[in-house]
Structure 1
Amino acid sequence: MAKLVAFYSRADENYFGGQYRSVAVGNTEKVANMIAEAVGGERFKIQQKIPYAADYQTCIQQAKADQRSHARPELEVLPDSLDGYDEIYLGYPNYWGDMPMAVYTFLEVFDWTGKTIYPFCTHEGSGLSGTERKIARTCKGADVKKGLALYGSYVDQSGEAVLQWLKRIGKDGT
């Protein structure tokens, strides 16, 4: 069966260890690309129909408001089905100890029975913050494995860490 690397990522102005910097490709998308290349997975980018602002401060105000209200932002598009996939690599930035609300929109649409989910996140100090448990609660019937947390500021130097994680979870092709 095929593998899917589904991820939410944000380009534009981002926070990097105390500084703001504009990027063309978000940190989580960079990790998703590394994973997809290593495991041969198809990529699916989870995108909100109405994206957050490009400006970082405005973006965090919008994302916090969505989190407080448990919003489920409408997505630009969804896969028709996940039936052809048995392994899902799920990527997201850590937003205040949780996943972006658009990730929940994605997760709540599908039947996860029999799927294996490998979470991965980017962060600036919060790690996975219990998001593996939140995924397991949301994705009934899925086997949620130990995830990977990478500092967003160091994603460009994280290729070896990604490969080591894939090796630990037995998905490095050996």
Structure 2
Amino acid sequence: MAQLIVYYSRRGENYVSGSIQTLAVGNTEAVARRLQALTGADLFQLEPMQPYSDDYNECIQQAQDDQRRDARPALRACPETLDPYDTIYLGYPNYWGTMPMCVFTFLERFDFTGKTILPFCTHEGSGLGHSEADIRRLCHGAKVGKGLAIHGTAVCREERALEAWIKGGN
């Protein structure tokens, strides 16, 4: 069976090591691309129909509002089916202890029974938060492996951690 990497990432203004910096490639996307190179898995990027603002502070307000409302933002596209895949790597930045709400939209769209979900997140100090528990709650019947949290400013230096996580079999 095949593997799929599904991820949400944010380019543009991001919080990096205590300051706002503009990123051409989001941290989670950088990890997802490296993961694809290491595994050969198919790659799919989640994009909300209504993108968050490029301005960091506006984005924070929008994302927090989505979380407060328990919103399920519409996605531009989704995989047609997950049937060919037995393993899904799921990547996202940590937004206030969990996944961005568009990742919830994706998870609620499919039946993950019998599949393995391997979560990975990028963060600036908050790790995986309660995202693993949220995935388990949303994806009944799936095996949710141990997640990998990568500090956003270290995505380019985490090759060994990523390789160990993949080999760990979760």
Q: What TM-score bracket applies, with the shorter chain setting the length?
A: over 0.9
Distance 2:24 2:153 in 1: 14
Map residues 13-52 of structure 1 onto 2, 5 A cutoff: 13-52=13-52
The alpha carbon displacement at 1:118 in A equals: 0.4
Q: Name the aligned partner's letter for residue 168 of structure 2.
A: R
Give deviations 1:55-84, integer Å, cap 9, x for gaps: 100000000000000000000001111001
Q: Could you say which residue in structure 1 is the equivalent of 2:85?
A: 85
Distance 1:145 1:164 in 2: 14
Q: Name the aligned partner's letter for residue 102 of structure 1.
A: C
Distance 1:62 1:78 in 2: 22
Distance 1:74 1:152 in 2: 26
Distance 2:31 2:167 in 1: 15
Q: Could you say which residue in structure 2 is the equivalent of 1:94?
A: 94
1:108 aligned to 2:139?
no
The alpha carbon displacement at 1:169 in A equals: 2.3
Structure 1 segments unaligned to the other structure (5+ residues): none
Secondary structure of the corresponding residue to residue 71 of structure 2: coil
Q: Could you say which residue in structure 1 is the equivalent of 2:119?
A: 119
Secondary structure of the corresponding residue to residue 83 of structure 2: coil
The alpha carbon displacement at 1:164 in A equals: 1.6
Give deviations 1:97-117, integer Å, cap 9, x for gaps: 010000000000001011000
Secondary structure of the corresponding residue to residue 6 of structure 1: strand
Map residues 131-150 of structure 1 onto 2, 5 A cutoff: 131-150=131-150
Q: Name the aligned partner's letter for residue 148 of structure 1.
A: L
**Cα RMSD (Å):** 0.8
Report the more deviating stretch, 160-169 or 82-91.
160-169
Aligned residue pair count = 170
TM-score by length of 2: 0.98
Secondary structure of the corresponding residue to residue 141 of structure 2: coil
Distance 1:144 1:12 in 2: 30
What percentage of aligned pairs have identical amino acids?
A: 54
TM-score by length of 1: 0.96
The alpha carbon displacement at 1:91 in A equals: 0.3
Runs of 4+ in 1 over 6 A off after TM superposition: none
Distance 1:22 1:154 in 2: 16
Give deviations 1:4-29, integer Å, cap 9, x for gaps: 00000000000101011101110001
Secondary structure of the corresponding residue to residue 108 of structure 1: helix
Distance 1:168 1:114 in 2: 19
The alpha carbon displacement at 1:168 in A equals: 1.8
